[in-house]
Amino acid sequence: MSDRLKNTNTISNEEVIEDLTKDLELMSADETTANVINPESTVDDFMNSAGDTQKTDIPYTEDDCDKDDMTYNDDYKAESDKDDSDTDSIDEESLKDAEVDLTDDQKEERRIQAEGLKNEGNEAFKIGEYEKSIEKYTEALRICPLQFEQQRSILYCNRSAAKMKLEKYKRAIKDCSKAIELDDKYLKAYYRRAQSYEATEKFDECLADFKKILELDPAHKEAQAAMIRLPPLIEEKNEKLKKEMFGKLKDLGNMILKPFGLSTENFQLEQDPESKGYKINFKQ
């Protein structure tokens, strides 16, 4: 298993499958080149040798929750690569160090400056200047003292809205998660993160956020609709992943068995009705 899987708890099902099959392909290639297969080897020989203040942010109205926010398409994968370059990260350690010698009055002054930048960001957002609004929210986050958690939470959530408009969903998810970290009852942050998860076809995570939204607001219409809409999408995606995984494993199996004149067609999977596990039967 790669270090990527060992060091994170947020890897998706698709990434797990891709990582595991890639490892298997590398292992198979290494073993094929490293071992000279004896033409007289039997299948038994081969088998025996195998060895994770107030909410003054951008309001979401009916227009703000339109289809543009909820759609996702096949072009996402190409766009998602551009999401990885995060140029607006916030170095909170440096910010913490810079605040050590500040007086309470100086911190309040910075909070007021950050509020002004937030308002500028809101105005830029309203007229569709999303890049500019991101810049303003980022400037505000870089001066707003860490002790003002609610204000910082709003800034992260507002910035996520601008990123969603630019279809930078992965970065929007990060900002929503940060907003929730600062305020775990911030409904709007859960909602925007759910929208971004759905836009990137992370339906399980999306459903989890909508469930949380219903805990905070049982009458939330979008969350209620999601409880009906998402389960079939999750089931469909899981079936697709299962087929892809079995297809890749079958290809690898055929590659390994080919030197012995065998293929995966010589093996049949049967499910045990009691244990629900599988057993493999060999057929000539």
The pLDDT of residue 66 is 35
Report pLDDT digits (tens) over 102-151: 999 999 999 999 999 999 999 999 999 999 999 999 999 999 999 999 99
* Domain identity same for 31 and 73: no
* Domain identity same for 71 and 201: yes
Beta bridge partners of 282: 267
| Domain housing 94 | 67-218
Q: How many domains does the chain have?
A: 2
**Is pTM, for the whole model, over 0.85?**
no
Give dist(CA 121, CA 117) in Å, integer. 6
As a whole number, mean pLDDT of residues 72-93 equals 59
Four-CA torsion 90, 96, 97, 103, nearest 10 degrees: 130
Report pLDDT digits (tens) over 168-193: 999 999 999 999 999 999 999 999 99
Q: Confidence band (pLDDT; 50, 70, 90) for 23?
A: low
Report pLDDT digits (tens) over 152-163: 999 999 999 999
Q: Confidence band (pLDDT; 50, 70, 90) for 279?
A: low
* Domain identity same for 169 and 204: yes
* Domain identity same for 45 and 136: no
Mean pLDDT computed over every residue of the chain: 77
Q: Is residue 246 part of a domain?
A: yes
Ranked by mean pLDDT, which of 1-10, 14-23, 38-47 comes out on top?
A: 14-23
* Domain identity same for 191 and 102: yes
* Domain identity same for 139 and 262: no
* Domain identity same for 187 and 46: no
Helix or strand (DSSP H, E) at 115: helix 104-126
* Domain identity same for 266 and 172: no
* Domain identity same for 187 and 247: no
